[in-house]
């Protein structure tokens, strides 16, 4: 078999990465894409023509194949007719000859049967055989592992993230709002979910829409941490695709795409094409920009353009992840509307939502009791009967189950995840360092708030700097206290940042970098990199407000707020650039303000009323909204005027008291419940432990070094434990994902996080997968003849070990293989046909098996051919019988597993309308389809080893 590059309809192709789909037929081809129908699994896939992971299947004279009716034929000769092969074939008894197109080939394809190879003296080395079996065993364990999709990512094991990933990543078509507080790892959670969805085949086409300033960061994060190659679609990219072919839909040329949401907002044609292309999973970052409100007059909902755009996509995409650290930033209306995007049936009207919110407190209170050691009183039991329909026993287990039941019925429980810093330890904390400066002589003390707060923004030429005390103050601290520090400065506007940067660089001789909306994306990323550079990098990065979202600057711990934003959530986003996972030091927040101006009052509002600098404040946004009118009054009016000063002091005091009361209330109430739902500590701890165990007992390092040595791939162990792996001229295998220039590899999670230049090699890394895939699809090590050193067995007699793979040909999305009791069957027979499979396992046999030189090995096969064939037939029969029982077990398991889920959802649906009807329907369909497909397991002979007993 070999590859032909020209495509023609009717050709047969096999997926390199998913051979279980069976043999596909090319059904459509155009300039950029090809479509392959896989009849066995009834799926059509569209691939980019340039890099389709497919192999053309061709047969040569003497090869055997099976046609669509299951009839076997041997090829006598073949000719190429307009790109499609026409085979002249003969049936096994030679009585019938005919000519048929390759289109008539059956979809089940068997590559290089091990027995045929063995009998043809194609004998492989003992090392290769051992490696093959180890790889198959690792792969089959992975297929049924609950950790699938969580092993590969280069991330630290952070419980709340793993909990969410585990909970959401396994869902079919997950639709959730990831709303952890700023900097707790929502991008990582989304990446973990995406990774699981892709690994298990639940999603294949993914679209990530982000603000344009975050596109590269997302692309890099997906590649660096998850080994996922997302393509960045901007105007240049889409235009260049269209240049080649006007009619191509660019969104069909790749499976995983990142684009700026503005690109689709500004270009209707692209938006339409993205909609037409269709995706399995949609991810929206910074989702607080999607806003919505109910028109008080008409009662109609009105969304902004972003909301409407996402609503269109969300309506036709099965999976949707929305990410925001500040879900209620723009009010409860928008929060409700975003939940409605995810589940329109459940969140039907705003009023209904508000009513329900009001009732959560009862649920929260009783959940609190259940979580504590407090005994359940009669009164508690009454509430529980009302909420759950039954009483709850006092023991821990029953209480835990009851909490789960409550959580399942809690309104947003299944779709909203919000972890807070309070619940997650390890953040070093923050200090506020105010700098009270004299106001410039003509600073406005009356008039518009905009001018009283940010007068510099009205002077685009930078003239304000001449009299602004913040500039000398800034130069001074950068030269003294912050001399050897990395400093992030954020101001609201681009022009202000530009003027400041020029002044610091030219007049202050300070190494600066800048980041604002007037710069190209590339320039911004370069600036961020210059700032991150140790040693010679910039001392200060000056950002406009766009730098306050999503970026990672936790290597710095000094933040200068050159001005204060109008909104507490925006302020939290700013601080969040530094106050993130990975921050090692207490964060120093420097806040200059002009004494006696609105700036001072704003500072005091944030500091004394909302207490936002020293702690993330979950109530700040709501409090500000509630007091916005009084606050505006106080900000606008000079406190030295009569009565104003007292009014402001009173407001600060009142709101501070309210804040503390509200925080106490939240503490006692609903947020604890939401927190518990967002991370159930026991479950999270179990996942972390399982991953730690896997890291500790990882079989991969040993396997990999032996594999590299056995296949002549160059590798060198470094003193720090990393490996440098390079392809060599003598390399004995093909098809591995290894670049010409090679790679630095590490197997250690810890090292992988420090050494980003090193590939983190895991069971899910593309390189490992390419080895497994090569083994799966090629004959690597699938025959072996060895010596069995044992005095207990008659000398010269044979023992045979044969492996068969059990495969389900089905759409990957059903994940049926996970229900098989095993994916491999091993049969061990002695020469007389005694079945020793159960008695002697591989590990027991291993120490007794030794190499046999090739010429003796060939002799053995030649002389003992009959016995070998006989035992092989027997093994096949034994394996077939097992496959039958596997099929029954798998059907029962699959059916039961889905039935449990269906029962749970049906039951919950009676109590909690947050269960979507289509979720239930989908499960039922999946159950029926899966059970049916599991009836037809196929058994593929994988490998064979003949052992000769010698002393």
Ligand X SMILES: Nc1ncnc2c1ncn2[C@@H]1O[C@H](COP(=O)(O)OP(=O)(O)OP(=O)(O)O)[C@@H](O)[C@H]1O
Instruction: Single out the residue of 102, 124, 130, 180 in contact with ligand X (rule: CB under 6 A).
Output: 180
Smallest separation, CB 162 to ligand X (Å): 8
Q: How far apart are CA 631 and CA 564, in angstroms?
A: 15
Please check if 181 is assigned to a binding site: yes
Interface with ligand X includes 396 (CB under 6 A)? no
Q: Measured from the CB atom, is 87 or 747 closer to ligand X?
A: 747
Smallest separation, CB 286 to ligand X (Å): 7
CA dihedral 289, 295, 301, 305 (to 10 degrees): -40
Smallest separation, CB 224 to ligand X (Å): 9
Instruction: Single out the residue of 22, 183, 766, 811 in contact with ligand X (rule: CB under 6 A).
Output: 183
Q: Which of 97-105, 153-161, 416-424, 866-874 is the region at the interface with ligand X (rule: CB under 6 A)?
A: 153-161
Please check if 182 is assigned to a binding site: yes
Smallest separation, CB 2 to ligand X (Å): 44
Interface with ligand X includes 691 (CB under 6 A)? no
Task: Build a one-symbol-per-residue string for 300-339: x at contacts with ligand X by CB under 6 A, - elsewhere.
Answer: -------------------------x--------------
Please check if 320 is assigned to a binding site: no
Tokens of 246: 């006007």
Q: Are 553 and 578 in contact (CB under 8 A)?
A: yes
Interface with ligand X includes 186 (CB under 6 A)? yes
Q: What is the per-residue DSSP string for 712-746?
A: T-EEEE-TTS-EEEE--TT---------TT-EEEE
64-66 and 72-81 as β-strands: parallel, antiparallel, unpaired?
Answer: antiparallel
Residues 80, 83, 85: CA angle, nearest 5 degrees: 45
Q: Measured from the CB atom, is 324 or 830 closer to ligand X?
A: 324
Q: How far apart are CA 181 and CA 671, in angstroms?
A: 12
Q: Which of 247-255, 372-380, 579-587, 805-813 is the region at the interface with ligand X (rule: CB under 6 A)?
A: 579-587
Under DSSP, is residue 199 helix (H, G, I), strand (E, B) or coil? helix
Q: Measured from the CB atom, is 321 or 500 closer to ligand X?
A: 321
Q: Which of 183-191, 275-283, 349-357, 684-692 is the region at the interface with ligand X (rule: CB under 6 A)?
A: 183-191
Smallest separation, CB 210 to ligand X (Å): 10
Smallest separation, CB 281 to ligand X (Å): 17
Q: Residue 874, Cα to own-chain centre: how many angstroms?
A: 45
Q: Measured from the CB atom, is 286 or 498 closer to ligand X?
A: 286
Smallest separation, CB 185 to ligand X (Å): 3
Q: What is the per-residue DSSP string for 824-861?
A: EEEEEEETT--B-TTTS-HHHHGGGEEE--HHHHHHHH
Contacts of 482 (CB under 8 A, 6+ apart): 539, 558
Interface with ligand X includes 428 (CB under 6 A)? no
Instruction: Single out the residue of 435, 436, 581, 724 in contact with ligand X (rule: CB under 6 A).
Output: 581
Q: How far apart are CA 576 and CA 316, in angstroms?
A: 33
> Which of 429-454 are b and which e, b meaning 16 or more Cβ less than 10 Å from the residue's Cβ?
ebebebeebebbeebbbeeeeeebbb
Instruction: Single out the residue of 174, 185, 618, 766 in contact with ligand X (rule: CB under 6 A).
Output: 185
> Which of 195-221 are b and which e, b meaning 16 or more Cβ less than 10 Å from the residue's Cβ?
bbbbbbbbbebbbbbbbbbbbbbbbeb
Q: How far separated are the first and last CA of the chain, in Å rounded?
A: 42
Smallest separation, CB 192 to ligand X (Å): 8
Task: Build a one-symbol-per-residue string for 868-897: x at contacts with ligand X by CB under 6 A, - elsewhere.
Answer: ------------------------------
Under DSSP, is residue 437 helix (H, G, I), strand (E, B) or coil? strand
Which residue from 107, 42, 278 is spatially nearest to 813, judged by alpha carbons?
42
Q: How far apart are CA 366 and CA 595, in angstroms?
A: 49
Q: How many CB atoms lie within 10 A of CB 374?
A: 10
Q: Measured from the CB atom, is 19 or 748 closer to ligand X?
A: 748
Q: Which of 431-439, 578-586, 646-654, 919-927 is the region at the interface with ligand X (rule: CB under 6 A)?
A: 578-586
Q: Are 340 and 308 in contact (CB under 8 A)?
A: no
> Which of 144-183 are b and which e, b meaning 16 or more Cβ less than 10 Å from the residue's Cβ?
eeebbbbbbbbbebbbbbbbbbbbbbbbbbbbbbbbbbbb
Q: Which of 186-194, 539-547, 606-614, 649-657 is the region at the interface with ligand X (rule: CB under 6 A)?
A: 186-194
Interface with ligand X includes 576 (CB under 6 A)? yes
Instruction: Single out the residue of 118, 158, 519, 868 in contact with ligand X (rule: CB under 6 A).
Output: 158
Instruction: Single out the residue of 136, 188, 283, 684 in contact with ligand X (rule: CB under 6 A).
Output: 188
Smallest separation, CB 498 to ligand X (Å): 24
Contacts 24+ apart (CB under 8 A), 351-356: 356/411
Instruction: Single out the residue of 34, 176, 182, 824 in contact with ligand X (rule: CB under 6 A).
Output: 182
Q: Which of 91-99, 151-159, 841-849, 918-926 is the region at the interface with ligand X (rule: CB under 6 A)?
A: 151-159
Q: Measured from the CB atom, is 183 or 941 closer to ligand X?
A: 183
Smallest separation, CB 168 to ligand X (Å): 15
Interface with ligand X includes 161 (CB under 6 A)? yes
- Burial class for 79, CB neighbours closer than 10 Å (0-12, 13-18, 19+): exposed
Instruction: Single out the residue of 10, 39, 83, 156 in contact with ligand X (rule: CB under 6 A).
Output: 156
Tokens of 511: 């190494």
Smallest separation, CB 937 to ligand X (Å): 38
Total residues at interface with ligand X (CB under 6 A): 20
Q: Measured from the CB atom, is 515 or 605 closer to ligand X?
A: 515
Q: Which of 63-71, 181-189, 230-238, 435-443 is the region at the interface with ligand X (rule: CB under 6 A)?
A: 181-189
Q: Are 707 and 771 in contact (CB under 8 A)?
A: yes
Smallest separation, CB 580 to ligand X (Å): 4
Q: Which of 308-316, 358-366, 573-581, 645-653 is the region at the interface with ligand X (rule: CB under 6 A)?
A: 573-581
Q: How far apart are CA 579 and CA 570, in angstroms?
A: 14
In DSSP terms, which residues pair with 785 in a beta bridge?
A: 946
Contacts of 171 (CB under 8 A, 6+ apart): none
Task: Build a one-symbol-per-residue string for 733-762: x at contacts with ligand X by CB under 6 A, - elsewhere.
Answer: --------------------x---------
Smallest separation, CB 153 to ligand X (Å): 8
Which residue from 87, 95, 91 is spatially nearest to 73, judged by alpha carbons?
91
Under DSSP, is residue 26 helix (H, G, I), strand (E, B) or coil? strand
Q: Measured from the CB atom, is 575 or 793 closer to ligand X?
A: 575
Q: Measured from the CB atom, is 494 or 550 closer to ligand X?
A: 550
Instruction: Single out the residue of 40, 160, 492, 580 in contact with ligand X (rule: CB under 6 A).
Output: 580
Which residue from 77, 328, 218, 152 is spatially nearest to 766, judged by alpha carbons?
152
Please check if 265 is assigned to a binding site: no
Please check if 180 is assigned to a binding site: yes
Interface with ligand X includes 184 (CB under 6 A)? yes
Smallest separation, CB 853 to ligand X (Å): 51
Interface with ligand X includes 155 (CB under 6 A)? yes
Kindly report the length of the chain: 951
Listed in order, strand segments (DSSP E) in 496-613 are 512-515, 540-543, 558-561, 587-594
Task: Build a one-symbol-per-residue string for 541-560: x at contacts with ligand X by CB under 6 A, - elsewhere.
Answer: ---------x-x--------
Please check if 326 is assigned to a binding site: no
In DSSP terms, which residues pair with 15 in a beta bridge?
A: 54
Smallest separation, CB 547 to ligand X (Å): 11
Q: Which helix (H) or strand (E) holds 488?
A: strand 487-490
Compute the chain's Rg from CA coordinates: 33
Q: Write out the binding residues.
A: 180-187
Query: Given the rule CB under 6 A, which residues bind ligand X?
Result: 155-156, 158, 161, 180, 182-188, 325, 550, 552, 576, 580-582, 753
Q: Write out the binding residues for ATP.
A: 180-187
């Amino acid at each position: 078999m070999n590859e032909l590059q020209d495509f023609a309809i009717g050709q047969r192709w096999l997926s390199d990465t998913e051979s279980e789909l069976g043999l596909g037929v090319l059904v459509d081809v155009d300039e950029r894409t090809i479509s392959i129908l896989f009849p066995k699994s009834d799926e059509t896939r569209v691939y980019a023509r340039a890099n389709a992971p497919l192999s053309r299947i061709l047969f040569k004279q003497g090869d055997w194949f099976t046609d669509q009716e299951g009839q076997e034929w041997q090829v006598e000769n073949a000719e190429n007719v307009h790109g499609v092969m026409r085979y002249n074939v003969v049936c096994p008894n030679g009585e019938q000859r005919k000519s048929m197109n390759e289109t008539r080939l059956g979809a089940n394809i068997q590559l290089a049967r091990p027995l045929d190879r063995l009998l043809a003296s194609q004998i492989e080395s003992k090392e290769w055989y051992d490696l093959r079996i180890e790889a198959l065993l690792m792969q089959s364990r992975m297929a049924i592992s609950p950790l699938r999709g969580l092993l590969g990512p280069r991330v630290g094991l952070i419980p709340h993230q793993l909990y969410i990933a585990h909970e959401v990543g396994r869902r079919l078509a997950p639709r959730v709002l990831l709303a952890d507080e700023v900097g707790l790892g929502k991008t990582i959670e989304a990446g973990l979910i995406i990774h699981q969805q892709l690994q298990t085949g639940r999603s294949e086409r993914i679209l990530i829409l982000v603000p344009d300033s975050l596109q590269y960061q997302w692309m890099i994060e997906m590649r660096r941490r998850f080994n996922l190659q997302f393509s960045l679609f901007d105007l240049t990219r889409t235009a260049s695709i269209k240049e080649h072919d006007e009619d191509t839909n660019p969104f069909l040329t790749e499976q995983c795409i990142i684009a700026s949401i503005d690109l689709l907002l500004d270009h209707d044609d692209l938006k339409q094409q993205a909609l037409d292309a269709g995706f399995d999973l949609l991810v929206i970052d910074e989702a607080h920009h999607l806003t919505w409100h109910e028109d008080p007059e008409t009662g109609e909902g009105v969304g902004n353009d972003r909301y409407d755009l996402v609503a269109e996509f969300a309506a036709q995409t099965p999976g949707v992840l929305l990410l925001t650290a500040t879900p209620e930033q723009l009010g409860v209306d928008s929060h409700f509307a975003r939940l409605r995007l995810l589940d329109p049936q459940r969140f039907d009207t705003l009023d209904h939502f508000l009513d329900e919110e009001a009732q959560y407190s009862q649920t929260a209170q009783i959940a609190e009791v259940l979580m504590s050691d407090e005994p359940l009183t009669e009164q508690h039991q009454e509430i529980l009967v009302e909420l759950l329909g039954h009483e709850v026993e006092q023991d821990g287990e029953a209480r835990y189950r009851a909490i789960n039941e409550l959580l399942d019925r809690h309104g947003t429980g299944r779709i909203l995840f919000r972890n807070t810093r309070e619940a997650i330890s390890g953040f070093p904390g923050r200090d506020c360092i105010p700098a009270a400066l004299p106001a410039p002589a003509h600073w406005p003390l009356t008039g518009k708030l905009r001018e009283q707060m940010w007068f510099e923004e009205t002077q685009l030429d930078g003239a304000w700097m001449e009299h602004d005390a913040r500039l000398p103050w800034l130069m001074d601290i950068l030269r003294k206290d912050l001399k050897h520090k990395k400093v992030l400065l954020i101001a609201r506007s681009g022009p202000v940042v530009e003027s400041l940067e020029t002044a610091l660089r030219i007049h202050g001789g300070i190494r600066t970098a800048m980041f604002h909306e007037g710069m190209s994306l590339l320039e911004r990323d370069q600036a961020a990199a210059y700032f991150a550079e140790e040693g010679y990098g910039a001392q200060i990065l000056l950002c406009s407000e766009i730098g306050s979202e999503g970026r990672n600057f936790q290597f710095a711990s000094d933040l200068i707020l050159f001005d204060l934003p109008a909104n507490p959530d925006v302020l939290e986003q700013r601080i969040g650039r530094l106050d993130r996972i990975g921050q090692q030091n207490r964060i120093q927040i420097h806040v200059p303000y002009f004494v006696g101006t609105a700036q001072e009052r704003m500072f005091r509002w944030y500091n004394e009323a909302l207490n936002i600098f020293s702690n993330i404040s979950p109530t700040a946004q709501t409090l500000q909204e509630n007091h916005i009118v009084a606050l505006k009054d106080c900000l606008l009016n000079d406190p030295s005027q009569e009565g104003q000063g007292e009014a402001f002091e009173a407001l600060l005091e009142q709101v501070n008291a309210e804040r503390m009361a509200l925080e106490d209330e939240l503490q006692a109430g609903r947020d604890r419940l939401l927190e518990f739902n967002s991370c159930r500590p026991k479950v999270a701890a179990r996942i972390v432990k399982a991953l730690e165990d896997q890291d500790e007992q990882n079989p991969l390092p040993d396997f990999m070094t032996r594999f590299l040595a056995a296949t002549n791939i160059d590798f060198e162990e470094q003193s720090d434990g990393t490996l440098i792996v390079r392809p060599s001229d003598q390399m004995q295998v093909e098809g591995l994902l290894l670049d010409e220039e090679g790679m630095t590899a590490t197997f250690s999670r810890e090292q992988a996080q420090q050494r980003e230049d090193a590939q983190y090699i895991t069971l899910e890394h593309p390189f490992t997968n390419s080895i497994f895939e090569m083994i799966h699809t090629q004959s690597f090590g699938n025959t072996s003849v060895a010596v069995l050193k044992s005095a207990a067995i008659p000398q010269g007699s044979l023992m045979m070990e044969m492996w068969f793979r059990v495969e389900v040909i089905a759409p990957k999305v059903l994940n049926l293989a996970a229900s098989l009791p095993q994916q491999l069957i091993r049969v061990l027979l002695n020469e007389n046909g005694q079945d020793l499979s159960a008695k002697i396992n591989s590990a027991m046999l291993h120490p007794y098996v030794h190499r046999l030189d090739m010429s003796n090995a060939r002799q053995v096969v030649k002389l003992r051919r009959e016995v070998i064939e006989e035992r092989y037939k027997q093994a096949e029969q034994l394996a077939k019988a097992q496959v039958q029982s596997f099929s029954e077990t798998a059907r029962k398991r699959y059916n039961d597993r889905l039935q449990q889920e269906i029962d749970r959802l049906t039951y919950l649906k009676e109590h909690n309308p947050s269960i979507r009807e289509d979720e239930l329907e989908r499960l039922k369909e999946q159950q029926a389809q899966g059970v049916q497909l599991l009836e037809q397991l196929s058994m593929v002979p994988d490998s064979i080893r003949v052992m000769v007993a010698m002393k």
